[in-house]
Amino acid sequence: MTTAVAAPFRFFALQVVRTWRLGPSMVRVRFAGPDLAEFRSDGRDQSLSLFLPAPGRREPVVPLDRGDDWWQAWRELPEDVRAVMRSYTLRERHTDAFGVTTGIDIDFVLHGIGPGGRDGLPDGSAVAGAGQEAGPASRWAARAAPGDRVLLLGPAVADNRAIRFRPPHDTGLVLMWADATALPATAAVLESLPAGTRARVWLEVPHPGDVTDLAHRADAEITWFVREGHGAGRDGSHGTPLALDSIRDAELPYAERPYVWLAGESGCVKQLRRHFVGERGVDRRRVTFVGYWRHGVSEEQLREQG
CA distances from 19 to 16, 39, 158 (A): 8, 21, 26
Of the pLDDT bands very low, low, confident and very high (cuts 50, 70, 90), residue 305 is low
What is the bridge-based pairing of β-strands 26-32 and 9-23? antiparallel
Residue predicted with more confidence, 113 or 68: 68
Domains for the chain: give ranges and CATH numbers.
Answer: 3-160 (2.40.30.10), 173-293 (3.40.50.80)
**Per-residue pLDDT tens over the stretch 149-167:** 999 999 999 999 999 999 9
User: In the structure, what pLDDT confidence band is assigned to residue 135 with cuts at 50, 70 and 90?
Assistant: confident
Is residue 272 predicted with pLDDT exceeding 60?
yes
The answer, yes or no, to whether residue 144 has pLDDT greater than 50, is yes
Whole-model pTM? 0.86
**Alpha helices for 170-222 (secondary structure H):** 183-192
In eight-state DSSP terms, residue 65 is G
Q: What is the dihedral of CA 238, 90, 111, 54, to 10 degrees?
A: 120
pLDDT band at 239 (very low <50, low <70, confident <90, very high): low
101-109 and 198-205 beta bridge pairing? unpaired
Give me the pLDDT at residue 302, please.
57
The answer on pLDDT for 117 being more than 80 is: no
pLDDT band at 240 (very low <50, low <70, confident <90, very high): confident
C-alpha to C-alpha distance for 111 and 10, rounded to whole angstroms: 29
The confidence band for 227, taking pLDDT boundaries of 50, 70 and 90, is: confident
pLDDT digits (tens, 9 = 90+) for 23-52: 999 999 999 999 999 999 999 999 999 999
- Sorted by sequence, the CB contacts under 8 Å of residue 303 that are 6+ apart come out as 85
